[in-house]
Amino acid sequence: MLLALISIIGYLMTILSTVVIVQFILSLLIAFNVVSLSNNIVSSIWQALNVILDPFLRPIRKILPDTGMIDFSPMVLLIGLRVLQMLLMGLASDISMAGM
């Protein structure tokens, strides 16, 4: 049961990491005028991604110093998620070894 819960949490963190990368790519496309926020579909996707990620990025932005135009909070979030995934996998490994 606990291994299944750890697996589900790891899967959700993988999905969140993918959403961060998609938002980063979309922000580059918007910055270089490849796509425009005046397009309703692009605007809707952008707003949805921001609604999903803002609760995770806002506390990181409060901690990080202001770096001007470059926002390092997505990178910090990705690193944090990866560290958590590694810790969860280690915990899952310890649990499975104890169960044998």
73: left (phi over 0), alpha (psi -120 to 50) or beta: alpha
For the chain, what are the domain ranges?
20-72
For 45, 64, 98, the CA distances from 20, given in Å and listed in that order, are: 13, 18, 35
Report the 3 state secondary structure along 33-89. CCCCCCCHHHHHHHHHHHHHHHHHHHHHHHHCCCCCCCCCHHHHHHHHHHHHHHHHH
- pLDDT attached to residue 38: 96
pLDDT in tens, 28-73: 999 999 999 999 999 999 999 999 999 999 999 999 998 888 889 9
pLDDT surpasses 80 at 99: no
- pLDDT attached to residue 14: 96
